[in-house]
Amino acid sequence: MTTLASPTRTAPAPAALPGRRLAVVGLAVGAALNTTEAVLAQFLPERPDSIAEELRLVAEHSTLYGARAVIGTLAVPFMLVGFLAAARLLAARARRTGWTAGSLLAVGMWGFAGVHVLALLSLPLATGGVPGAAAVAEELQSSAPLGALTYLPFLAGTVLGMLVLCVGLLRTGAVARWIPATWLVFLALDFTIGAVGPVDPHWLFLAGALGLAREIARGTAPRA
């Protein structure tokens, strides 16, 4: 008499993400573009307190401001893919936590996209030389309804989403723990002291993203 061995369950393969290659590209390209945008800010004057003064600086450094706005806008869809891939890895171990992190980060990236769209719209208004254009640009930047649709979702969604994601990854061990730990340090520095001279916290974000992309590419995440 023979018995048939029951099929064994295996951990979800990385390809079960939105595509292994897509996840790797999203993490690597999104973080690289976002870090480039942050590094380019080192070549600009310190951000003034008033919107009017900021628009004047935009007009004086239009090429660099424009480059940062375009690079930052291009980064958003890649970052969204990367964050969702990380959230799916977490969901394989802690479903509700993973979905919560992914939802919050999607809201955050919606707001981040809006912030960059406003920057792109403000650029020609600040530099076009059309009478009253600067006032329109200032109104765009200071509008409370637009802020509620862009800056608020960006700050709340990104901060809370990354906290939930990183703490969840640390607790479950879904990926190497240095990756979420690095992102937590980045989060703490970026939203508190920011860049200090040439040292920018975004390099930590890039390091963690590349580490996660490497694990996905090698098939070592999620771990059994």
pLDDT tens for each residue of 90-124: 999 999 999 999 999 999 999 999 988 888 877 77
The residue-averaged pLDDT of 5-28 equals 64
Measured between alpha carbons, how far is 25 from 46 in angstroms, rounded to an integer?
32
pLDDT of residue 50: 64
Specify the amino acid at residue 19: G
Measured between alpha carbons, how far is 164 from 169 in angstroms, rounded to an integer?
9
Measured between alpha carbons, how far is 43 from 64 in angstroms, rounded to an integer?
8
- Consecutive H or E run containing 57: helix 51-60
**Strands (DSSP E) found in the chain:** none
Band (146; pLDDT cuts 50, 70, 90): confident
Band (10; pLDDT cuts 50, 70, 90): very low
Band (222; pLDDT cuts 50, 70, 90): low
Tell me what the pLDDT averaged over the chain comes to.
Answer: 82
For the cut 50, the answer to whether the pLDDT of residue 4 exceeds it is: no
Of the candidate ranges 12-16, 27-31, 66-70, the one whose mean pLDDT is the lowest: 12-16
For the cut 50, the answer to whether the pLDDT of residue 15 exceeds it is: no
The residue-averaged pLDDT of 43-69 equals 76
The residue-averaged pLDDT of 63-79 equals 92
Cα angle at 204 between 57 and 213, to 5 degrees?
Answer: 115
pLDDT of residue 64: 87
Measured between alpha carbons, how far is 161 from 54 in angstroms, rounded to an integer?
30
- Centre a 10 Å sphere on the Cβ of residue 157 and count the other Cβ atoms it contains: 20
For the cut 50, the answer to whether the pLDDT of residue 197 exceeds it is: yes
Measured between alpha carbons, how far is 215 from 178 in angstroms, rounded to an integer?
12
Band (42; pLDDT cuts 50, 70, 90): confident
145, burial (CB in 10 Å: exposed 0-12, middle 13-18, buried 19+)? exposed
- Centre a 10 Å sphere on the Cβ of residue 195 and count the other Cβ atoms it contains: 16
Band (143; pLDDT cuts 50, 70, 90): low
The residue-averaged pLDDT of 127-131 equals 58
Q: Are 33 and 74 in contact (CB under 8 A)?
A: yes
